[in-house]
Amino acid sequence: MALIPFATLIQLEAFWKNIAVADEGRATLLLELASNRLRLIGEDVNVDVDNKVANSQAYETTIRWVVMEAVKRALSTPTDQPPVEAWSQTAGPYSQNYKYSNPTGDIYFRKTELSSLGLYGRQSLTSISTSQNLYGDIYSS
C-alpha cells in the first residue's frame, strides 16, 4: 500500500512558488520522501503520525507546513550551479567567499518544526535501584 504524502504539488506551489515543469517530478518525489521521513521519526518516538493527521485538522495543517518547508529548502538548492546562498569575490590580493545554503539538497527538519508536531524533545527516564541486592543470596550474610 502506497502512503499518501502530507502535501501535494499544488499545495506546495500555492505555499511557495510555481514549480518549473522540469522540477515537478523532483518536487513530487521530495514531498513523498519528506512525508515518509516524518512517519519514521514518529515511529521512533512512538507517535502514530497518520492517526494524528486523521484526527486533528490542526495537526494535519501543521504537518503539511513542515513537509512543504523541508521540500522548499531542498528545492532551493540548484542542480545546475553551485549551491551557494551568498558569494563574494575580491581581485587583490585574491579572495573568494561562499556561504552554502543546503549544499547537498537534503531534506531536513528544524527542531522547532519537529517540536510543533510533538516529534522532538521527548525524554524518558529509567532508574536502577542502588539499594537492591543484584547478586541474590550468594553475597548476603
Residue 30 has a pLDDT of: 97
Whether residue 27 lies inside any domain: the answer is: yes
What residues make up the domain containing 36?
9-116
Total domain count, the chain: 1
Residue 90 has a pLDDT of: 76
Residue 139 has a pLDDT of: 53
Whether residue 124 lies inside any domain: the answer is: no
Residue 18 has a pLDDT of: 97
Determine the length of the chain.
141
Residue 96 has a pLDDT of: 76
Helix (H) or strand (E) holding 85: strand 84-90
Whether residue 112 lies inside any domain: the answer is: yes
The three-class DSSP label of residue 112 is helix
Separation between Cα atoms, residue 67 and residue 139, nearest integer Å? 58
Residue 95 has a pLDDT of: 76
Going from the first residue of the chain to its last (141 residues), give the mean pLDDT of each consecutive group of 10, the final group possibly shorter.
92 97 95 97 95 97 98 81 63 74 78 94 61 57 51
Tell me the residue type at 141: S
Tell me the residue type at 112: T
